[in-house]
Structure 1
Amino acid sequence: MIKQAFFQGKNKKRRYFEGWYFKCISADRKHAIAIIPGMAIDPQGKKQAFIQVINAVNGKTWYHHFPYSEFNAKLDQFYVEIENNSFNAGGLSVNIDTAEGLIKGQLIFDHCQPFPTGRKNPGIMGPFGLLPLMECYHAIIHLYHEIKGDIVLDGEILDFNGGVGYIEKDYGRSFPKTYLWLQASHFENRNAAFVFSRANIPFLGRAFLGFFAYFTDFQGVTVRFATYNHSRLVTWEVDKEKGICYGELKGPAGKLAFRAQMNGGGKLRAPVDGLMNREIVESITAEVWLRLTNPQGEVLFESLSHEAGMEICLD
């Protein structure tokens, strides 16, 4: 397990957030939810803990607020606890019944595929993830895992037995002002995982456009395209109003083309200087088409996913 998954905010006093993102898709694809536990510290040093939930089927979202005294996260392993709720690499347990809504249940994760890390590849951000004073750090924890269990959400029992999931996290001061994020791991042809992000990244008083893309089919085909490995984003088109984007990347591994379409979505809170008062719209039932070719032009993978995560934030 990569150390980025562990809690990073022990000594933070103000302007800080940290959140873990658990995406869960049922075997029959009828249920899709995301659960996001986290903590935040505003510019005045006031701390809070939270658990956000989004139901992709109807776009309904919940923001459950907790006193920071109920937050406990370990520094030497991936373990987060907020009141009677716990989250780790092996699963999650939720037990919330408040005026905002009800969510209860336990999910167990099996056959986990962690994001591969090492000295040459410290994380999805590459060497940028090692730089101090970045506005936001991003980490992928599980590219894919299988799920056992069910969740009661808003009075409905959601059966996730045989389903699949994904875990990532963000931490720092604020989400990027402008960015696009895609994540898909439920392709029609075979199991595979794809993650892409492009953002305007402020650093030391300046800003630069950075991107990364990672794809694996868990069967020997694994590629990475990123600002830090001599890859280029040669084609880029976004229509925020229609929720559409298209991209084509070239790099040492070949060429990767993708097209994504938002489908539904719900409003989540995002951090600005540790204040959880920015609203973003996220879909976890977006459609993503993907084609990967090697440097010789041979198609290595081409397929469609209907249960992808997608956010477009351009203002």
Structure 2
Amino acid sequence: MIKQAYFQGKNKKRRYFEGWYFKCISVDRKHAIAIIPGMAIDPQGKKHAFIQVINAVNGKTWYHHFPYSEFNARSDEFDVEIENNSFNAQGLSLNVDTAEGCIKGRLIFDTIHPFPTGPGHPGIMGPFGLLPFMECYHAIIHLYHEIKGDIELDGEILDFNGGVGYIEKDYGRSFPKTYLWLQASHFETRNASFVFSRANIPFLGIEFPGFFAYFTDFNGITQRFATYNFSRLKKWEVDTEKGTCAGELEGPNGALAFTAQMASGGRLRAPVDGLMDREIVESITAKVWVRLTNNHGDVIFESASSEAGMEICLDEGVASKQESE
């Protein structure tokens, strides 16, 4: 288990957030939800815990607010509790009934494919994840797992037996002001996992563009493209009005091309200096196409997914952009 999955904010006093992202897709693709437990500390040191939920089918979102006294997370293993709700690598249990809404149920995870760790396998941020004072840190916990159980969401029963899930997390002060994020696990041809992110990263008074992409089909094909392993983002295009993006990457072992189309999404709260008052739009039913080639130009994977996670957050004035990095 990657140690970044553990609670990192034990000694934080202000301007801090930490959240774990659980994506759940049913076997029939009729249900798609994301559940985000977390905590935040504002600039004055006021703390609270939360559980955010997004229902991709209707775009509805919930932000359940809890006193920080109800938050308990371990710093030596992945184990988070908020009031009567629990979250870990093996599953989650929900028992929320607030003025915001109601969500109850239990999901169990098996056939787990965690993000690889160990010597030579740093977290998805590579050496950047070891630098102090970064605005935001990102970690992938499960690339893929299967789900057993169901969830009752405002009176509707969502059956996730046989479904597929994914877990990641973010922690730090603020989400990047400008970023693009994609994640897909439901490809038409075979099980695989793909994640891509590009952000403008402020660090010690300067700002630089960084990116990573990770692909695996769990059957021997695994490739990583990132700023830190001298990969190149040869081309990327984003159109916020159309909700589309495309990119071409070259790395040590091959190349990857992708396109993505935003679907209807819901509004989630995101952190700015620990204040959960920024709104972002996330879809978890976006359409993503991926083609992976080896160093000889042979296509080793090509498929599409219609249950992908997608967020586009760009500064005004760069809604449509092409560049080579």
For the aligned pair, the TM-score class normalised by the smaller chain equals over 0.9
**CA distance in 2 between partners of 1:193 and 1:216 (Å):** 5
**CA distance in 2 between partners of 1:221 and 1:269 (Å):** 35
**CA distance in 2 between partners of 1:76 and 1:266 (Å):** 33
Instruction: Please name the residue that 2:257 is paired with.
Output: 257
- SS of 1:77's equivalent in the other structure is coil
Deviation at 1:150, TM superposition (A): 0.1
Question: Which amino acid in structure 2 is aligned with residue 29 of structure 1?
Answer: R
Q: Normalising by structure 1, report the TM-score.
A: 1.00
- SS of 1:129's equivalent in the other structure is helix
Verify: 1:209 aligned to 2:209, yes or no.
yes
Verify: 1:126 aligned to 2:122, yes or no.
no
Instruction: Please name the residue that 2:318 is paired with.
Output: none
Q: Deviations over 1:208-260 (max 9, x none)?
A: 00000000000000000000001000011000111000000011111100000
- Fraction of identical pairs, as percent: 84
RMSD (Å) for aligned C-alpha atoms: 0.5
**CA distance in 2 between partners of 1:31 and 1:4 (Å):** 29
Matches within 5 A, 1:147-166: 147-166=147-166
Verify: 1:200 aligned to 2:203, yes or no.
no
**CA distance in 2 between partners of 1:187 and 1:9 (Å):** 35
Q: Normalising by structure 2, report the TM-score.
A: 0.96
- SS of 1:76's equivalent in the other structure is coil
**CA distance in 2 between partners of 1:2 and 1:263 (Å):** 31
**CA distance in 2 between partners of 1:239 and 1:250 (Å):** 22
Deviation at 1:120, TM superposition (A): 2.1
Instruction: Please name the residue that 1:21 is paired with.
Output: 21
Tell me how many residue pairs correspond in the alignment.
Answer: 315
- SS of 2:127's equivalent in the other structure is helix
**CA distance in 2 between partners of 1:47 and 1:235 (Å):** 41
Q: Deviations over 1:55-99 (max 9, x none)?
A: 000000000000000000011110000000000000000001111
Q: Deviations over 1:128-178 (max 9, x none)?
A: 001111000000000000000000001100000000000000000000000
Matches within 5 A, 1:50-199: 50-199=50-199
**CA distance in 1 between partners of 2:302 and 2:2 (Å):** 30
Question: Which amino acid in structure 2 is aligned with residue 258 of structure 1?
Answer: F
- SS of 1:186's equivalent in the other structure is coil
Gapped runs of 5+ residues in structure 2? 316-325
Question: Which amino acid in structure 2 is aligned with residue 122 of structure 1?
Answer: P
**CA distance in 2 between partners of 1:164 and 1:120 (Å):** 28
Gapped runs of 5+ residues in structure 1? none
After TM superposition, the runs of 4+ consecutive aligned structure 1 residues lying more than 3 A away are: none
**CA distance in 2 between partners of 1:87 and 1:40 (Å):** 17
**CA distance in 1 between partners of 2:243 and 2:253 (Å):** 28
